Chain A
């Protein structure tokens, strides 16, 4: 579905042609969980787009990426990597936590 929309957009407007490469860079982000903290604690994403965030849990214990604001609830086992899909978001701040270590594992997504 998204592909179809994308293809038709490309066909209609040649001006969009340059965009996909830059978007691909912006739309894949990486987060690391280390010592029950997120690194970086703040990530910026484009508003109105779907974004893939790869979360690598370097701790030996599991963590739950949790955010009602981002509508995500995902368990990330120890020493593993998980894909979290977010968006499309309106511009603004969206907080997330690692629910199993909520006092230290905190972060925010800024959509702009």
Chain B
């Protein structure tokens, strides 16, 4: 039972971390619970579908279907996270300032919400399909496996508790820092996902360059331990990164930081102009 609990917990915490971060990031956004719940629900349904069609997906594209699927899911999530930060840099601060939920602000708050709900859905989809397959294997093995199934359910519960822990941990950050902290968190999250996606493209045989391993810190902080896994999801920690992974990681950080900076600057310029207009009138 303990084995099943640990496996399911390990799969769930990655999605759990992401859900916890999204909930913290969207604190105060009207209707955010519904968006996140919709993301989890869609992701869970999708995970079931992925599990059913696992063989078809695996056999697609000359046996590289699963890798390409994972790379695409991660790629879309990276774009959504990038879009969120870009949008927040220009609208986020004014939105937080006037959270008085006038009709206009509510719709304004929706745009990054849709992107974040998609990120939640995609994370649930990816991790969930493995949980579904694992639990299916247990059920298929027969009635004697009921204690394993219980372990699986407890693992899910532990994962949910971990999500809550992430959320409340992030809530402890003072409100005036939350914007900077969440922007940084999301940037690192996206960079880690992009590096993972690059590795899947390599595993799919699509990218055949820069496969050399750069260093090995697996003896100090193994990536498959609990701490290693958490850091893997949060900041993209990899104990044996390849050149491709490091380059993708740094490039994503650079691109997202630049976009956020440009977006923030543009906002300040527009604000400046607006203030001038105000002074004139």
Give the contacts of A82-112 with B (CB-CB under 8 A): 82-85, 87-90, 99-100, 102-103
Question: Interface size of A by Cβ–Cβ distance < 8 Å?
Answer: 31
Q: Is the interface of B mostly helix, strand, loop or mixed?
A: helix
Tell me, yes or no, whether B134 is within 8 Å of chain A by CB.
Answer: yes
A-B contact pairs, 29 of them (CB 8 A): A1-B209, A50-B208, A50-B211, A60-B140, A62-B54, A62-B134, A64-B133, A68-B223, A68-B239, A69-B218, A71-B202, A72-B203, A74-B58, A74-B67, A75-B54, A75-B58, A75-B130, A77-B54, A82-B63, A83-B64, A85-B202, A85-B203, A85-B204, A88-B211, A88-B212, A89-B213, A100-B134, A100-B137, A102-B3
Closest to A100 in B: B134
Please give, as numbers and ranges, the residues of chain B lying within 8 Å of A68 by CB-CB distance: 218, 222-224, 239-240
Residues of B within 8 A of A82 (CB): 58, 63, 66
- Whether A80 is near chain B, meaning CB under 8 Å from some CB there, is yes
Given contacts A82-B58, A99-B7, A100-B134, contact A71 B203 (CB under 8 A): yes
Residue B168 at the chain A interface, CB threshold 8 Å? no
Interface residue? B205 (CB, 8 A): yes
Inter-chain contact B58/A71, CB cutoff 8 Å: no
User: Closest residue to A94 on the B side, CB-wise?
Assistant: B240
